[in-house]
Structure 1
Amino acid sequence: MSADLAASVAAVAAVAAALLVAWQSWETRRAADASSRGLKTANDALVVALRQADEAVRARIDAATPSIGVFLDEVDWPPLEPSAFAGGSPNQLRRGLAPESLFLPRDRGRLIMVRAGVRIVNDSHRHVRMNVFGLIEKDDGVTPIPSPVLLGPGRTIEAWCACTHTLAEWIDVYQRRELGDAADEVVAAVHYNDPADTGASDRWDLAIGGVPIAPTAETQGGWQIIPGPEPAPGAVAAIGTGDVVLRHRRYYLSKSRGEEITT
């Protein structure tokens, strides 16, 4: 075989080998892509199946959980001035504050309470045991309601929730609202934990938002209780609640094992 022919054969063999390697690489990549697509399809199907299973469990939990309603009325008006003596015997609250101006530092520690009525309704046919935080007896307006509370079928609890601050603290709230911080203040909460291991845990947060005081127009540095909870046009001072309290429900596949359904 001549040298030229040998070189030609070697070149052809090299090209063939390169083509074979390229073809094998392409086939491998094609198989890998197909496998990846198949794996993605399988994973997507698994995610859908798990989501459907979670939704089915949540639906069963919803059906098995007692129907409880928590409602928050608009704020009671005018504000109240509770006793300034912590730990003392409950005193009758004096309704309203005199319309005189309040000043710092003289009145900085003066307490001003804004409260709203709360109703907890058990619409189920079961007794329910709930933990309550920050609720006050409706009758006397000062005694905290002890927790837990047992509520029978079709029964209702009426109570107060209250937001109490000193004058200095209310002024700070007013100034923060002037700067755009209008966040509500959570003043009470109701918790219900279904005793079933696979069940729900419900929480209602009760919030009062706003401020019941405003600077006086007549006296430099003075503050007054606003005439009513509704805001005047362009005014920062106003206070209120929403009459619909959102329920936050958490679903558990097993409470004893800490397995929460989060999807």
Structure 2
Amino acid sequence: MVEAWDVAETVGTVASAAAAAVATGLVAWQARLARRANASAHAVVIDSAKARLDAEAPDLDVRVLAPAWPPLRDANDSTSHLTGDTVWSLPRDERQTLVCTLPVDLTNRGTRDAEVTISGDVRPVSELADHAWNPGQPIEDFLMPGREPYRFHLQGTLTLRQCADNRAARERGRPLPHRIAGVVSATDRRDEGITDRWELVMTGCPIEPVPGTEDQWRLTVDSVVPQWKILTVEQVARERTYWISRRRGVTYPSVEDLLG
């Protein structure tokens, strides 16, 4: 038979344990509130710092134009356009290349200078105007004064095999595996400042099988869209990095990271 004092002791133990759990939970909850409040205060400071850096940053506009059509045979000959009556045989000609070109305009819309680097599959419009550039190298660290325009080409080669692979991927509803890509980055050259980055991507299916043949290919003919849209360009979006100290490699955290 359970004694009354045993029941009282058990009840007291359970009550004490429950009170301790409540107290522990209350302390943890208060700690979470304190951390949340502290994070919110830091977020306000970070938002204010980023807004100041935004106001002081260069205002670079990156705009892509229509891809050139038709492609070139030779990157060093701007008149070597392929024609619609050119026919290739695959796999015999699969290593032959098409040179695809996308004009890109940069404009510094603000009054502050921007230091710009362009890398990847890129080429100056005129190498004579860019003496430091060599084929295959980035267009490095040139200064864009305010209100100053600059044009370059996103330009690269796709082999006929890569073009055929792209077409096969599109017909299966998959992302096209082969593309031509470059990156524009701009900085304000300050230790506490910004770096802006734009990724440029051009891809497409510029060749198609010749109807009624098994291995013959030609430039794509599309009666639905303009020919220059056969090469497509992915949407260009700016990615901005905010530096506490560029020299030390320290960036401002995102507000989402603080509050998450």
TM (normalized to structure 2)?
0.81
Corresponding residue for residue 107 of structure 1: 93
Separation in structure 1 between the aligned mates of residue 15 and residue 56 of structure 2, nearest angstrom: 61
The Cα offsets for residues 174-200 of structure 1, whole Å up to 9 and x where unpaired, read as 222222223473522111133222221
Residue 246 of structure 1: how far off its partner (Å): 0.7
Corresponding residue for residue 3 of structure 1: none
Asked if residue 162 in structure 1 is aligned to residue 155 in structure 2, the reply is yes
Corresponding residue for residue 247 of structure 2: 256
Q: 8 Å contact 1:163–1:208 — kept in the other structure?
A: no
Which runs of 4 or more aligned residues in structure 1 lie more than 4 Å from their structure 2 counterparts after TM superposition? Answer: 11-16, 139-145, 228-232
Asked if residue 63 in structure 1 is aligned to residue 50 in structure 2, the reply is no
Of the candidates 127, 141, 146, which is equivalent to residue 148 of structure 1? 141
Separation in structure 1 between the aligned mates of residue 190 and residue 134 of structure 2, nearest angstrom: 32
Separation in structure 2 between the aligned mates of residue 42 and residue 194 of structure 1, nearest angstrom: 37
Q: 8 Å contact 2:157–2:180 — kept in the other structure?
A: no
Counterpart amino acid of residue 179 in structure 1: R
Corresponding residue for residue 257 of structure 2: none
Deviates most, 96-105 or 138-147? 138-147
Q: State the superposition RMSD in angstroms.
A: 3.0
Of the candidates 124, 142, 149, which is equivalent to residue 110 of structure 2? 124
Q: 8 Å contact 1:229–1:240 — kept in the other structure?
A: no
Counterpart amino acid of residue 257 in structure 1: R
Structure having the higher Rg: 1
Corresponding residue for residue 30 of structure 2: 38
Corresponding residue for residue 174 of structure 2: 181
Separation in structure 2 between the aligned mates of residue 192 and residue 229 of structure 1, nearest angstrom: 40
The Cα offsets for residues 15-61 of structure 1, whole Å up to 9 and x where unpaired, read as 44444434433332332222222112112212222222222222122
Residue 81 of structure 1: SS of its match in structure 2?
A: coil
Q: 8 Å contact 1:119–1:157 — kept in the other structure?
A: yes
Separation in structure 1 between the aligned mates of residue 134 and residue 25 of structure 2, nearest angstrom: 70
Separation in structure 2 between the aligned mates of residue 186 and residue 262 of structure 1, nearest angstrom: 32
Asked if residue 73 in structure 1 is aligned to residue 65 in structure 2, the reply is yes
Structure 1: unaligned runs, 5 residues or longer: 1-7, 84-89
Counterpart amino acid of residue 33 in structure 1: G
Of the candidates 123, 139, 142, which is equivalent to residue 136 of structure 1? 123
Residue 173 of structure 2: SS of its match in structure 1?
A: coil
Deviates most, 64-73 or 32-41? 32-41
Counterpart amino acid of residue 163 in structure 2: W
Q: 8 Å contact 1:193–1:201 — kept in the other structure?
A: yes
TM (normalized to structure 1)?
0.80
Counterpart amino acid of residue 198 in structure 2: W
Corresponding residue for residue 211 of structure 1: 205
Residue 109 of structure 1: how far off its partner (Å): 2.5
The sequence identity of aligned pairs, in percent, is: 22
**In structure 2, do the counterparts of structure 1 residues 189 and 30 end up closer, same or farther at CA, with 3 Å as the change threshold?**
closer
Separation in structure 2 between the aligned mates of residue 107 and residue 181 of structure 1, nearest angstrom: 25
Deviates most, 92-101 or 248-257? 92-101
Corresponding residue for residue 21 of structure 1: 13
Structure 2: unaligned runs, 5 residues or longer: 255-260
Corresponding residue for residue 198 of structure 1: 192
Residue 75 of structure 1: SS of its match in structure 2?
A: coil
Separation in structure 2 between the aligned mates of residue 108 and residue 18 of structure 1, nearest angstrom: 84
